[in-house]
Structure 1
Amino acid sequence: MKGKVILLTSDTIGAAENGLGATILETFLTLVKQQEELPAAVFCMNRGVLALTSQSLASLQLAEIEKLGVPVLACKTCVDHYGIADTLTTGEISGMGTFVELAAKHEVLTIG
């Protein structure tokens, strides 16, 4: 994961059917945080910002990734769209300009 930016576009991986997608996302993030080389950042947009709320099990893994020094960022437009600014449990609200800068410097791995 070294040098990569994870672009999280959903609060699930694949279909959200019966919570399977949420479980797969949580497992993915658990494995990411165990890697010796961590990503440069995690940027959440679209439904991905919902993974930063207490309604998502992934928020626990994202908080731990953030504690390891990886910036976890939420698209401000998306946060405003879902009205969740006051319910984020981890991450920092950021703008699309930050993502563009990250994408210019790092390989982007899109998950969602």
Structure 2
Amino acid sequence: MDRQVDARGWNCPKPVIETKKLLESIKEGSVVTIVDNEVAKENVTKLAKSMAYNVDVKEMGGDYYINIYSQEVVKDVLAQPKKLKEMAILFGSDCMGEGSEELGKVLMKGFMYTLTEYSPYPKALLFINSGVKLTTEGSDVLDYLRQLESEGVEILSCGTCLDYYNLKNKLMVGGVTNMYTIVDKMNNAKNTIKL
């Protein structure tokens, strides 16, 4: 039996939270979540995939119909590579430390480079507030972030923050996320570091 979440007109992160609640409450069947914007579509799709569901998205009349259905999953496929550590790093700024902004940017670049050379990598890098500037066009650390992403590190930038800085169309690495996912990643990590 199919169940539905009509999330049109809902603000982030409500479409994700309500879809998650419904997915957790059913034992079989599928869920269709209807949203009216691209960000909600991406966030609900990422949630479903992170929960090991298959996802089909259809656009009709400006709305997105996200069909979420179960799949057979082999546990080994879902296991994180051994080179990833159950750790999340939260970047609240595009500078490292307090004081000189110029020095802070130099330190951040050095930190990102060092992160690519250090093993194991953190499982997730989360970017909020001016930290989203590190994942967007013109950032000095894009190559390092791309390298980390290619090694399986999840790179997520807050959609509200990207909107605030008018950078959503300039995102160059990783994906757009919401506060629910940021809290979830931090909560599920064995260790969270805030820079």
Q: After TM superposition, is the score higher than 0.5? A: yes
- Give the equivalent residue in structure 2 for 1:110: 194
Instruction: Describe the superposition over 1:40-91 as per-residue Cα deviations: whole angstroms up to 9, x where unpaired.
Output: 1000000000011232212221121111110100001101111101111112
- Give the equivalent residue in structure 2 for 1:62: 145
- Give the equivalent residue in structure 2 for 1:51: 134
> Is 1:84 matched up with 2:171?
no
Preserved contact between residue 162 and residue 168 of structure 2 (Cα < 8 Å): yes
Distance apart, 1:20 and its partner CA: 1.6
The one-letter code sitting in structure 2 at the alignment partner of 1:97 is: Y
- Give the equivalent residue in structure 1 for 2:111: 28
Q: Over the residues paired in the alignment, what is the CA RMSD in angstroms?
A: 1.6
Compared CA separation, residues 18 and 42, structure 1 to 2 (3 A):
closer
Preserved contact between residue 22 and residue 56 of structure 1 (Cα < 8 Å): no
- Give the equivalent residue in structure 1 for 2:121: 38
Distance apart, 1:17 and its partner CA: 3.2
Match of 2:96, SS?
Answer: coil
Distance apart, 1:14 and its partner CA: 2.0
In 2, distance between residues paired with 1:86 and 1:54? 9
Of residues 2, 5, 9, the one that matches 2:92 is: 9
Aligned residue pairs total 111
**Stretches of 4+ aligned residues off by more than 6 angstroms:** none
In 2, distance between residues paired with 1:20 and 1:67? 28
Match of 1:3, SS?
Answer: strand
In 2, distance between residues paired with 1:25 and 1:54? 16
Sequence identity of aligned pairs in percent? 28
- Give the equivalent residue in structure 1 for 2:80: none
Match of 1:64, SS?
Answer: helix
- Runs of at least 5 residues in structure 2 that lack an aligned partner in the other structure: 1-83
- Runs of at least 5 residues in structure 1 that lack an aligned partner in the other structure: none
TM-score where L is the length of structure 2? 0.54
Instruction: Describe the superposition over 1:18-37 as per-residue Cα deviations: whole angstroms up to 9, x where unpaired.
Output: 62211111111111111221
Preserved contact between residue 16 and residue 22 of structure 1 (Cα < 8 Å): no
Which stretch of the first structure deviates more once superposed, 94-103 or 37-46? 94-103
In 1, distance between residues paired with 2:129 and 2:155? 15
TM-score where L is the length of structure 1? 0.90
Q: Which has the higher contact order (CA 8 A, sep 6+)?
A: 1
Match of 1:65, SS?
Answer: helix
In 2, distance between residues paired with 1:44 and 1:82? 13
